A and B are shown apart, each in its own frame.
Chain A
Amino acid sequence: MKLRYFAWVRERIGKPEEDVDLPAGVATVADLMDWLSDRGDEYAHAFDNPRVIRAAIDQAHVKSDAVIAGAREIAFFPPMTGG
């Protein structure tokens, strides 16, 4: 599964994207943030306040309880500030 990071989430993790193989049990976006947080200090820093992190599955906004099965691409980013 491809993961993509934007803005300060990208800066904290130190890369814009990566491919990961997820273990069984990582079922939702919230599970995925938990799992990522345990991968190292940079991830723990990026996800230290998961409530502010927004997520998208296959380029559409989702909530943190969204099921990730079948997703090709999941993105994490801060609240948007365009316009």
Chain B
Amino acid sequence: MTGTIRLQREPFDAAHEAAKLVRGRTDIGAVVTFTGICRGEEAGAPLLAMTLEHYPGMAEAEVTRHVEAAEKRWPLLGVCVIHRFGHLSPGDEIVLVVTAAAHRQDAFAAAEFLMDYLKTRAPFWKKIESARGTGWVEAKQGDDALASRWVGNPRERAAAE
């Protein structure tokens, strides 16, 4: 099972996408919906606009690889990932991750895993226009640390900590 993966300029409807995953099913007991939104300030300066550049082809391939990894790791009953590109304004949705499972722990964990990897591995780049000027957003080291916590077998990692 590989879920819905879409890269698009257009807005998405998070509630609609979550409803589509569970419609007609009684095996799903938990749905986690995460929406990333364009904030109206960056480092203390008002943000006027954001442009998301992506690498067509690779972006789809990379998201698909991570959805497949999530499906191997947790018993998911549905996944949806939508990432927008192009011009965005403060308040606009950027990314949607929906995960469905029988139990909430699997749905929460898979959604966090997917977001951590989207942040650090999916080929997207944010350029922002603020009162201070225009520039590319720098990658945060904290995001790399969040992604690296998923590396390896969870039991091995717990033993090492």
Q: Which residues of A contact B (CB under 8 A)?
A: 4, 6-8, 56, 59-61, 75, 77-83
Classify the interface of chain B: helix, strand, loop or mixed: mixed
Decide if A59 touches B139 in the complex (CB within 8 Å): no
How close is A66's CB to chain B, nearest CB, in angstroms? 15
For the complex, give the distance between the alpha carbons of A4 and B55 in Å: 9
Q: Given the known A-B contacts A78-B139, A81-B124, A81-B137, are A60 and B61 also in contact in the complex, defined by CB atoms under 8 Å?
A: yes
Decide if B122 touches A80 in the complex (CB within 8 Å): yes
For the complex, give the distance between the alpha carbons of A7 and B61 in Å: 19
Known: A80-B139, A83-B118, A83-B119. 14 other contacts (CB 8 A): A4-B55, A6-B55, A7-B53, A56-B123, A59-B57, A60-B58, A77-B55, A78-B139, A80-B119, A80-B120, A80-B121, A82-B54, A82-B118, A82-B123
Interface 1/0s, chain B 127-159, versus A by CB < 8 A?
A: 100000000111100000000000000000000
For the complex, give the distance between the alpha carbons of A59 and B62 in Å: 8
Number of A-B contacts (CB under 8 A): 71
Q: Given the known A-B contacts A81-B136, A82-B83, are A56 and B122 also in contact in the complex, defined by CB atoms under 8 Å?
A: no
Q: Which residues of B contact A (CB under 8 A)?
A: 36, 52-55, 57-58, 61-62, 83, 94-95, 115, 118-127, 136-139
Give which listed residue, B57, B124, B136, contacts A83 with CB less than 8 A: B124
Decide if A61 touches B121 in the complex (CB within 8 Å): yes
Give the chain A neighbours of B57 by CB distance below 8 A: 59
Which has the most chain A C-beta neighbours within 10 Å: B57, B58, B61? B58
How close is A30's CB to chain B, nearest CB, in angstroms? 20
